[in-house]
Amino acid sequence: MSVVETTVWLKSKRCDSNACVEVALIGQVVAMRDSKDPDGPILRFTRQEWDAFTAGLHEGDFASV
């Protein structure tokens, strides 16, 4: 069994469908995938990249997207 198979994936409590973003911490990597395709591609981010992304969300940097 791979690390990804045993990983606990989290999604927003607001997500009531199977079309959500899921995230997981795998070692020092933050992984992201599409819940409707759990065997599909996984995006991987360093903690620094993830922290910069979430800070941008909180600061409204993506409000126009």
Q: Using one digit for the tens of pLDDT, what is the confidence trace for 20-54?
A: 999 999 999 999 999 999 899 999 999 999 999 99
List of long-range contacts for 31-39, beta carbons under 8 Å, 24+ apart = 31/4, 31/7, 33/9, 35/9, 35/11, 38/9
N residues, the chain = 65
Domain residues for the domain of 11 are 1-65
H-type helices in 1-65, by residue range?
A: 47-59
Binned at pLDDT 50, 70 and 90, residue 8 comes out as: very high
Total tally of structural domains belonging to the chain = 1
Question: Between residues 6 and 62, which one has the greater pLDDT?
Answer: 62
